Each structure stands twice: as C-alpha cells, then as structure tokens.
C-alpha cells in the first residue's frame, strides 16, 4: 500500500535533513581527520590516481591532505546552506526552494563526475551517482507536491508584482 502524501512529505524532509547533516559531518571529518590515519585508504586512492604506482612524495601527500581539508571546510559551508534550504522548504512549502536544491545538485554532479572520471577516481563517480539517486527523487516529489498545494501560482503572481 503506497504511503499517503501526508505521511510521505515529512519522511522525505527528514531524509533530506539527515543528508544535509551527514554532509556537514563528512566535511568536518575531511577537514580535521586528514593526518589521523582515518582517511589513509581514501588518500591512497586519490594519490594512486595522480602518481600511479610510484612512491608519493611527502610534499604531494601533505598537499593532498591540505586540499582535502580545504574541500571539507567548503563542504561544511554548502551543507549548512543545504540544511537551511531544507528547513525553509519544509516550513514555507514553497516549491522554488526545492527547485534551487535540484539546480545546485544538477550543477555540481555532472562536473564532479566528469572531473573524477578524467582522473579515473571511479569511487567518486559512483558516490555522485548514488547522491543523485537518493537526493533528486525526493526533491522532485517535494517540488511537485508543494506545487499541487497551490504554491506555484503564488510564486508566479508574486514575481509579476516585482
């Protein structure tokens, strides 16, 4: 028996809250765990894609850890924006909020996948594909659901008053 839209909406919003919080935690991990040994396997995958089987120079490893930390800080920031948009979308029930999240994901994913494929970091390609699979369907559903509630007509009339 399919879930009613009244019970599905809160579940999808909760899922998106969890995804945003998971991204914040991942960003914290990338920023602060680079030299802890926790990310050694991941760093080895990245280093293999740049240096192959050759020994990785110490300065190269240090630079990789630095880039990872820098990316982690950026991920934390964007994850906070994601969390805020999910919160606004949930509270305001405005389809445009879900649309902006969809647009951001569609801007990011193809580029990230293409750049990862160029370096043959297939784990990133698969992870990005997984992110698309678990984020876009709930976002599209929420967009359509909130649109059906009459909020799309309000948006277009608000814009025309501009």
Average pLDDT over residues 4-16: 92
Cα 113 to Cα 117: distance, rounded to the nearest angstrom: 6
- 65, 35 Cβ separation under 8 angstroms: yes
Tens-digit pLDDT profile for residues 100-142: 999 999 999 999 999 999 999 999 999 999 999 999 999 999 9
- For the cut 90, the answer to whether the pLDDT of residue 6 exceeds it is no
- Looking at residue 88, its pLDDT comes to 98
Cβ neighbours, 10 Å, residue 158: 11
| DSSP for residue 150 | I
- Looking at residue 16, its pLDDT comes to 98
- Chain centre distance of CA 101: 9
Tens-digit pLDDT profile for residues 21-70: 999 999 999 999 998 999 999 999 999 998 888 889 999 999 999 999 99
Token code pair at residue 121 = 């970091």
- For the cut 60, the answer to whether the pLDDT of residue 158 exceeds it is no
- For the cut 80, the answer to whether the pLDDT of residue 3 exceeds it is no
- Looking at residue 153, its pLDDT comes to 59
- 35, 64 Cβ separation under 8 angstroms: no
- Looking at residue 151, its pLDDT comes to 73
- Looking at residue 2, its pLDDT comes to 61
Residue scoring higher pLDDT (4 or 93): 93
pTM listed for this prediction: 0.87
């Amino acid at each position: 028996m399919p879930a009613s839209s009244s019970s599905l909406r809160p579940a999808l919003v909760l899922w998106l809250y969890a995804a945003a919080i998971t991204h914040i935690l991942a960003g914290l991990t990338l920023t602060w765990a680079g030299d802890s040994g926790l990310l050694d396997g991941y760093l080895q995958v990245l280093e293999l894609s740049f240096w192959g089987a050759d020994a990785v120079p110490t300065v190269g490893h240090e630079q990789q850890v630095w880039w990872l930390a820098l990316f982690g800080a950026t991920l934390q920031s964007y994850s906070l924006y994601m969390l805020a948009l999910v919160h606004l979308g949930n509270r305001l029930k405005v389809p445009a909020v879900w649309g902006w999240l969809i647009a951001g994901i569609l801007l990011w994913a193809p580029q990230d996948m293409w750049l990862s494929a160029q370096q043959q970091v297939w784990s990133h390609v698969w992870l990005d594909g997984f992110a698309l699979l678990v984020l876009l369907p709930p976002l599209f559903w929420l967009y359509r659901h909130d649109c059906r509630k009459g909020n799309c007509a309000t948006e277009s009339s608000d814009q025309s008053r501009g």
